[in-house]
Structure 1
Amino acid sequence: MQNDNAIWIYALIIVSGLLQAWGPPMNGALRVALVNPWLASLVSFLPIVALLACVFICLPHPLPGGKDIAAMPWWAPLGGVIGAFAVVAGLMFVDKVGAGAFAGLLITANFLMSLAIDRFGWFGMPVHELTGGRVLGAALMVGGIALITRS
């Protein structure tokens, strides 16, 4: 990755992370307003589906071929369902534990699982060894979230 591209990529990832912190409190307010957590989940996802449908209509290419679809792992389309767990958890529990604790637990768990995915090359990811720095970083995150959730 070229250095100038890395700056933009990292900046967009950071902005995405900042914006992602807004989701659970917004979804929690939606659940309170709509009472039914499943209706709130559905309402939360409808704008996403509408936005992506509009983008796809405007930018329909490239499209997959039969070989692409046949080569796709069976689990590949389930990423959205897996991601919905975090949305529903935020919708139901952010007001009970607080935005900081919720985000900290979610991100720390995500980070720990991501280290395992990297280490073992799960889901077709390239293998990244579990170095001392990664282990130390994981330990610091676990320690940090332990402090945040105890306060």
Structure 2
Amino acid sequence: MLYFWLSLAFVAGMMMPLQAGVNSTLALHGNGAVWASGISFLIGTLTLLGVVLAMRYEVPLPAQLKQAPWWAWTGGFMGALFVATGAFLAPRIGAATMVALLVAGQLIMSVILDHLGWATFPQHDINLGRILGVLCLLVGVVLIRMN
């Protein structure tokens, strides 16, 4: 089962540059990255609604949702920023540079989150291997950016 989850993460990661390119194309035809991102979120919302209906998931009760900390509600903002930024940057810096920087930012934040054990992540200390991995990725960003 672990290999399935690892493969799922890999395939989802492959969708990042594709999504940015698709949204960027929509932005060219629809008054910019913000509108394209909104349309993308609308389609995503409808898709998730279809999944919820098909899987017959229970609707969360307001009392349950009130128990969530305030920051648990910020995921939509972060997603909107991510999607709009990708749609805006894709034609300006290219897929490889954009994704290299996105992944570098994701990895650095991931190491911090793991170290702190925050937001439901299991705690994993920062160690030499993780620091070297981040440094290698940052070197990769520089190499990718070089023409």
Give the TM-score normalised by the residue count of structure 1. Answer: 0.88
Match of 1:12 among 8, 31, 41: 8
Q: Could you list the runs of 5+ residues in structure 2 that have no partner in the other structure?
A: none
Match of 1:95 in 2: 91
Q: Could you list the runs of 5+ residues in structure 1 that have no partner in the other structure?
A: none
Matched residues in 2 for 1:124 and 1:9: separation?
A: 18
1:66–1:47 CA distance, 2 compared to 1 (3 A): closer
Matched residues in 2 for 1:38 and 1:67: separation?
A: 33
- Residue 140 of structure 1 deviates from its aligned partner by 0.1
- Residue 65 of structure 1 deviates from its aligned partner by 4.2
AA partner of residue 44 (structure 1): S
AA partner of residue 77 (structure 1): W
Correspondence 1:59 to 2:38: no
- Residue 32 of structure 1 deviates from its aligned partner by 0.9
Please list, as runs of the form range in 1=range in 2, the aligned pairs for 1:1-151 lying within 5 A after superposition. 5-65=1-61, 68-151=64-147
Matched residues in 1 for 2:117 and 2:73: separation?
A: 19
Matched residues in 1 for 2:24 and 2:57: separation?
A: 36
Deviation string for 1:71-127 (max 9, x for gaps)? Answer: 211111211210211111111111110000001101111110111111112224221
Contact 2:20 2:87 survives alignment (8 Å): yes
User: Number of matched residues?
Assistant: 147
Matched residues in 1 for 2:141 and 2:87: separation?
A: 20
- Residue 66 of structure 1 deviates from its aligned partner by 5.4
State, as a whole percentage, how many aligned pairs show the same letter.
Answer: 28
Give the TM-score normalised by the residue count of structure 2. Answer: 0.91
Report the RMSD for the aligned CA atoms in angstroms.
1.6
Deviates more, 1:128-137 or 1:72-81: 72-81
Matched residues in 1 for 2:89 and 2:57: separation?
A: 39
AA partner of residue 133 (structure 1): G
